[in-house]
Amino acid sequence: MGAVNAPQPSVVILGGGPGGYEAALVAAQLGASVTVVDRDGLGGAAVLTDCVPSKALISTADFRSQFETASDLGLHLEDHEGDEVSDSVAELLAVNRRVMALAAAQSRDIGERLASDGVEVLRGTGRLLSPSRVEATLEDGSTRALDADVVLVATGATPRVMDTARPDGERILTWQQIYELPELPEHLVVVGSGVTGAELAQAYLGLGARVTLVSSRDRVLPGEDADAATVIEDVFRKRGMEVLGRSRMESVRRTDDGVVVRLVDGRQVEGSHALLAVGSVPQTSGLGLEEVGVALSESGHVVTDRVSRTSVRGVYAAGDCTGVLPLASVAAMQGRIAMAHALGDAVAPLNLRGVSANIFTDPEIATVGYSQKDVDDDTVDATCVMLPLATNPRAKMQGITDGFVKLFARRGVGTVVGGVVVAPKASELIYPVTIAVQHGLTVDQLAGTFTVYPSLSGSIAEAARQLHPRG
Ligand SMILES: Cc1cc2nc3c(=O)[nH]c(=O)nc-3n(C[C@H](O)[C@H](O)[C@H](O)COP(=O)(O)OP(=O)(O)OC[C@H]3O[C@@H](n4cnc5c(N)ncnc54)[C@H](O)[C@@H]3O)c2cc1C
């Protein structure tokens, strides 16, 4: 019997960030005709303003910081006349140029990949006219209507702006505006000590700026592993950052030659520039979502289930606009899952327990699975071992003094259910723990796997060994 030719399903995707473009690649692979409507550039905020630029900036700052520890390892730098050079200087214009060129190149690569996979890309703004019809307003002002069997909304989020602290792009900045700075701020006041605030505060400190971090909470990185956050806050202070805990910003305003950050308790912090890192809001208004019946949460996020379905049949959503977990890796996974589900491929629902995440401070903090808080409040019945890296031979050789490895194992059976690594390049070291969590490996299996001697991963195996379940 001959195969019946099924009509090619059509997919329209709003947003070309990781949620959108990764979904487009999967949909094209599954045989759909795919159009991506994107407003600001392929790769989205992840590639153009948020994730990629910040990590590129941090790489430069980390590199410079290594000069500072060189003397601990017995090295010093000399100029060509043999005089000791004690410091390196960051030329911010050159640093920013490199960062932006790198982001643009990444965006171009994504465009080329989409084109080679047959995905149509329209530069413009999209909105839903119905669950199966999208209108794209293109850059030249013309409009195009697109019929779709499946729509994916992946429009991301944007920095939260407060009326009392309005960014001006010159001295009061969001994290998306910092790459326009022509020179290093003399004194940067970073407002907000979540992941973005902490990462960028340390990046500018590493580049040589004076930095004050205004944190509304008891310690930086609220919501992260408390032991890890304590290590990071200590490192911040040791390296000369001023950290103001329990200090809630009320307003930020310009002065003649700088900024004043006013705190709720009346104190004032003066600086040359302020960086606002006070959260994000989803870009879900004006998309026609409510008009076609797509349910939004109170915060304006699109409500989705674990296969990325919204409340309207045929309309899916992925990434930061859903508020599930603001990570590029999660956005991409949600997008891929949406397409697999919509186009009838095998699909495993999103499993957040398997997500590894990293904070790119120095040292980095990488986490996966259940957290210390989950253990403490009995969400999971687990035991824990935490090993400081200071006793690890490789750490000693590399001059690493701050950091640790922490593993959580289910009591009695010894299955690895979570972990935290605080170390340089923790983002790489967390992978074996993620494999263990994702695939239900036991501490004995982890401990019985060879590690290189000497290596930091030796501490992961040692922590696993110490968690061996006792009869
Ligand atoms: C400073 C910072 C650093 C970060 N670092 C990391 C990191 O190291 N690792 C990590 O995993 N995550 C990181 N993140 C998070 C990550 O950037 C986001 O989770 C990711 O960008 C979400 O992808 P997305 O596809 O949902 O949206 P986005 O990347 O925001 O893309 C959305 C796209 O939709 C487009 N769009 C919006 N509205 C419309 C419309 N109406 N029509 C057409 N197009 C539209 C936008 O132009 C944009 O191109 C970081 C975030 C910040 C703020």
More confident site: 75 or 148:
148
CA of 174 to the centre of ligand 1 (A): 15
Using CA atoms, how far residue 371 sits from 46, 127, 197, 231, in Å, is 26, 39, 22, 17
**CA dist., res. 403 & res. 147, Å (int):** 53
The pLDDT of residue 342 is 98
Section 83-94 average pLDDT: 86
Section 196-223 average pLDDT: 97
Using CA atoms, how far residue 100 sits from 169, 177, 193, in Å, is 16, 12, 25
Q: Which tens digits make up the pLDDT trace of 187-200?
A: 999 999 999 999 99
Using DSSP bridges, classify how beta strands 356-359 and 364-369 pair: parallel, antiparallel or unpaired.
antiparallel
- Answer yes or no: is pLDDT of 178 > 80: yes
CA of 18 to the centre of ligand 1 (A): 7
Give the pLDDT band (50/70/90) at residue 4. Answer: low
CA 82 to chain centre: 43
Section 167-191 average pLDDT: 97
Six-digit token string for 207: 């580049």
- Atom 39 of ligand 1, residue of closest alpha carbon: 155
- Atom 53 of ligand 1, residue of closest alpha carbon: 50
Return the axis-axis angle of helices 426-438 and 457-466, rounded to nearest 10°.
40
- Atom 5 of ligand 1, residue of closest alpha carbon: 51
Closest by alpha carbon to 203, among 87, 350, 342, 359?
359
CA of 283 to the centre of ligand 1 (A): 10
- Answer yes or no: is pLDDT of 68 > 80: no
The pLDDT of residue 98 is 97
DSSP 378-391: TSS-EEEEEEEGGG
Q: What are the residues whose beta carbons fall under 8 Å from the beta carbon of 342, sequence distance 6 or more?
A: 9, 11, 27, 149, 150, 152, 314, 316
Q: Answer whether 304's CB lies under 8 Å from 310's CB.
A: yes
Average per-residue pLDDT for the chain: 96
Q: Answer whether 247's CB lies under 8 Å from 215's CB.
A: yes
The number of C-alpha atoms within 13 Å of 377 and in the hemisphere containing its C-beta is 5
- Answer yes or no: is pLDDT of 2 > 50: no
Instruction: At 239, give phi and psi (nearest 5°).
Output: -90, 5
E-state strands within 194-339: 210-214, 242-244, 249-254, 259-263, 268-271, 273-276, 280-282, 315-317
The pLDDT of residue 86 is 72
Can you tell me whether residue 105 is helix, strand or coil?
Answer: helix
Give the pLDDT band (50/70/90) at residue 376. Answer: very high
Can you tell me whether residue 162 is helix, strand or coil?
Answer: strand
Please give the helix or strand (H or E) that residue 364 lies within, else none. strand 364-369
Section 220-229 average pLDDT: 96
The pLDDT of residue 89 is 85
More confident site: 157 or 77:
157
The pLDDT of residue 321 is 98
Q: Is the C-alpha dihedral spanning 258, 263, 268, 269 positive or negative?
A: negative
The pLDDT of residue 429 is 97
Buried/exposed 391-413: b ≥16 CB within 10 Å, e otherwise: ebebbeebebebbbbbbbbbeee
- Answer yes or no: is pLDDT of 179 > 60: yes
Q: Please tell me if the CB atom of residue 17 comes closer than 6 angstroms to any atom of ligand 1.
A: yes
- Answer yes or no: is pLDDT of 3 > 70: no
The pLDDT of residue 248 is 97
The pLDDT of residue 1 is 41
Q: Which atom of ligand 1 is nearest to the CA of 41?
A: 49
Give the pLDDT band (50/70/90) at residue 442. Answer: very high
Closest by alpha carbon to 153, among 272, 37, 274?
37
**CA dist., res. 214 & res. 192, Å (int):** 6
**CA dist., res. 221 & res. 197, Å (int):** 9
- Answer yes or no: is pLDDT of 292 > 50: yes
Q: Which tens digits make up the pLDDT trace of 92-141?
A: 999 999 999 999 999 999 999 999 999 999 999 999 999 999 999 999 99
The pLDDT of residue 57 is 98
Site of tokens 């695939």? 439
Q: Answer whether 52's CB lies under 8 Å from 138's CB.
A: no
Q: Answer whether 148's CB lies under 8 Å from 343's CB.
A: no
CA of 19 to the centre of ligand 1 (A): 8
Give the pLDDT band (50/70/90) at residue 408. Answer: very high
- Range of weakest confidence among 79-88, 251-260, 338-347: 79-88
Q: Please tell me if the CB atom of residue 414 comes closer than 6 angstroms to any atom of ligand 1.
A: no
CA of 107 to the centre of ligand 1 (A): 13
Using DSSP bridges, classify how beta strands 416-423 and 364-369 pair: parallel, antiparallel or unpaired.
antiparallel
Q: Answer whether 322's CB lies under 8 Å from 294's CB.
A: no
Question: Which mutation among 13, 102, 155 tests ligand 1's pocket best, with the greatest number of atoms within 8 A of CB?
Answer: 155
Q: Which tens digits make up the pLDDT trace of 14-28?
A: 999 999 999 999 999
The pLDDT of residue 471 is 65
Q: What are the residues whose beta carbons fall under 8 Å from the beta carbon of 395, sequence distance 6 or more?
A: 389, 401, 403, 423, 456, 459
